[in-house]
Amino acid sequence: MSSGPWVAILGLTGVVVSCVVPDVELHEKACDDSHPCLVEYSCVDHRCVPTDLGRPDVGGPTDAAVAAAEDAGIDIGALADGGGPSTPDAADTDAGPGDSRSIEAPDAESFPNDVGGAGVPDAEAFATDVGSSGGMDGGRPECVERGGYCSLSAVGGASLLDAECPAGQCFALVPQPWGSALPSTGTTYDMDHVRENGRPEGPGGSWWPLNPNAPDLPPAVGIFRQATPLLGLYLSDDPALIRQHAYWFRAAGIDHLLVDWTNLRAQADPENTGAACDPQTREGGFPCYTSGVKAALASLLATYDAIREFEPPRVLVAIRRFGENDAAATLIADEVHTLVQNHPSRFLMHADGTASADKALLLVFFDHSNCAWAASAPWADPRFNVKFTNGFLDSVCAGAYVDRFYDPGRSFIKDHLPYWLFVENTKLPNGEYRPIYKRHSPTQRQQMAVWLGLHAGGTAWDSVDQVWGGSDTFEHQLATVGSDVPLFLWVNRFNYYVSWLAEPQEGLTEDKSSSFEPTETLGFERLGRVARAMATLQGRSGTSPGAPNPTLARTAAGLQLTLAASLGELVALRYPLEYAVTTTAEPTPIWQALEISKLTVSVNAASGSPLVVHLRNPWGESQSLAVTAP
């Protein structure tokens, strides 16, 4: 989003009720029978202190608080007796997209020759075992029947249920261990690099110019980009780009995306003024931007529907409630709902114990400076599981959105508010960030957000490479999580390149920002940082890639090196991100990005010359494999 922070988080799973009595004092305030505390607090020595209504050994609320609650229609007795929403059982806390949406990991006994690491079948052995079998009854190939998949390139894009799988093209689905691990991790995914009139660079005017002062601050006038992506100035609706990003997300353990529609209005919105976008010339200004971002998400959903080799991330859409305009919010939600109906399996859901648990999540960016929102959320849409988002909720409205008393040194969003965190930068006296979270229950955090770099006011940032106390900003942010791992964790943000001195909170330089998409200047350094951190939090042990199995062939185009037979083979090799080819004359690897749409690359070598192929992922290099040029 181009202005203001916003929040991204996930659902509410059977939380303990926060009973809010109108017109009562907040915690830590003075109290007496005429000025009671909130009902989850007791008045002790004229000060409000927390009360556990479910424990008989802890004093309950004062008589005045009970009377006030009853006047508000709240049955304190039922809550104290265990009525109302219950705390989830331990077995239920593993919520998230992996519960019912992720591809189920194959049983190790289903696949022979399981030598690819823990639960990772050897793709070549699997292909040899079942790849040459014909289709089974009903047209379902044995490859699919066994729980594998057939390379789409091998069957010409035909349905896996209608085609036989040629020999050597059947691969095992690689288990996605983070599908059921805590936390479910997401990131903001900006899809606004579209053909529009207004940006001077990139195809169709899709990118701002590079900061001419990089790596220093940008000029005072104008909007720039901090860096150039490793994949170049791409278009967000390009299916090849979308597939490559999906592969990177899986390599990094990112299993859901927040797609930003917060600057978009619905086509039917009366406030959506301006000329319509000309589909040929794309000379329509903001209408072209709006239609382009929407088309990019439609392209992503269609592309994800076609991916068979791994499970792509789930999608959440964030919209904006402009001011108090409920009608406009409903109109843009209409467009999101159409996408959900067309691609129901692609959207993130959360089994949160509410009546909306079986519906797609929708995030709504709201005006948090309107402190009336601290009492309740005034808008809803029964077609979705709606959550509301914004940033700096710990500090706006004098802290009315959070509780700082019950968990000293930390803050959590008050239980009655379905609000999720996006960015927070409050620091404790010792210089560490205050942990701020949404509760799932009194003993389980539901959601948190961390950043690689954080705006600190003016042109000051806690920058990505800034180190204090022996740790960088990202590590200090992760320290707010500690061992209290939430169900959902946002790592922000993947590809936001804005460099804008007039709005420094949007980003200034590659260091004073928070993006972790691979760039021409930094390569995979930041993506690797995120991948290793997520693996640690999720309890996964990262492993370097398996040994490559390349082939060489001389064609009219020269010597061609095929790094892998298919995308599925790469997945089985544990998501290598880079490759290098060395020779006797040039033994030092020069690493190149491995693009999954270009598995065959040109190399130079005389006949009979040895070539050594290397692969690398965030945990290290593969064993090298030597091949001889024909």
> pLDDT tens for residues 90-104?
333 333 332 322 223
What residue spans of 94-186 are helical by DSSP H? Answer: 123-130, 142-145
Q: Give the model's pLDDT for residue 161.
A: 44
Strands (E), 347-485: 361-365, 385-390, 402-403, 411-413, 419-421, 436-441, 444-451, 454-457, 460-462, 467-468, 471-472
Considering only residues 420 and 179, tell me which one the structure prediction assigns the higher pLDDT. Answer: 420
Strand-pair category, 488-492 with 184-189 = parallel
Which of 50-54, 549-553, 598-602, 607-611 has the least mean pLDDT?
Answer: 50-54
Contacts of 621 (CB under 8 A, 6+ apart): 544, 545, 614, 615
DSSP letter string over 67-100? Answer: HHHHHTT--HHHHHTT-SSPPPPGGG---STTTT
Calpha distance 187→177 (Å, rounded): 18
- Give the pLDDT band of residue 163 (cuts 50, 70, 90): low
Global confidence as pTM: 0.75
Considering only residues 183 and 160, tell me which one the structure prediction assigns the higher pLDDT. Answer: 183
Calpha distance 190→173 (Å, rounded): 29
Considering only residues 288 and 577, tell me which one the structure prediction assigns the higher pLDDT. Answer: 577
Calpha distance 455→479 (Å, rounded): 18
Calpha distance 520→510 (Å, rounded): 11
Q: Give the model's pLDDT for residue 330.
A: 95
In this predicted structure, the answer to whether residue 175 has a pLDDT above a threshold of 60 is: no
Mean pLDDT of 562-584: 93
In this predicted structure, the answer to whether residue 225 has a pLDDT above a threshold of 70 is: yes
Strand-pair category, 256-260 with 314-320 = parallel
Q: Give the model's pLDDT for residue 375.
A: 92
Question: How high does pLDDT run on average in the chain?
Answer: 77
- Give the pLDDT band of residue 209 (cuts 50, 70, 90): very high
Mean pLDDT of 145-162: 47
Q: What are phi and psi of 277, to 5 degrees?
A: -75, 125
- Give the pLDDT band of residue 267 (cuts 50, 70, 90): confident
Q: What are phi and psi of 379, to 5 degrees?
A: -130, 145
For the chain, give the percent of residues with pLDDT over 70: 69
Q: Give the model's pLDDT for residue 567.
A: 93
- Give the pLDDT band of residue 243 (cuts 50, 70, 90): very high
In this predicted structure, the answer to whether residue 64 has a pLDDT above a threshold of 70 is: no
In this predicted structure, the answer to whether residue 472 has a pLDDT above a threshold of 90 is: yes
Q: Give the model's pLDDT for residue 541.
A: 85
Q: Give the model's pLDDT for residue 279.
A: 66
Contact 555, 561 (CB under 8 A): no
- Give the pLDDT band of residue 558 (cuts 50, 70, 90): very high
Calpha distance 506→491 (Å, rounded): 16
Contact 211, 193 (CB under 8 A): no
Burial class (CB in 10 A: 0-12, 13-18, 19+), 366: buried
- Among the ranges 70-79, 129-138, 394-403, which has the highest mean pLDDT value? 394-403
In this predicted structure, the answer to whether residue 130 has a pLDDT above a threshold of 50 is: no
Q: C-alpha distances in angstroms, 360 versus 138, 242, 351, 363?
A: 33, 21, 10, 10
Start-to-end C-alpha separation, the chain: 52
Strands (E), 548-591: 551-555, 558-562, 578-582
Q: Give the model's pLDDT for residue 331.
A: 94
Q: Give the model's pLDDT for residue 9.
A: 30
Q: C-alpha distances in angstroms, 269 versus 288, 330, 366, 420?
A: 15, 10, 18, 27
Mean pLDDT of 279-294: 76
Question: Quick one: tokens of 195?
Answer: 């053909």
For residue 615, the surrounding DSSP H or E stretch is: strand 610-617
Single-letter residue type at 123: A
Considering only residues 35 and 562, tell me which one the structure prediction assigns the higher pLDDT. Answer: 562
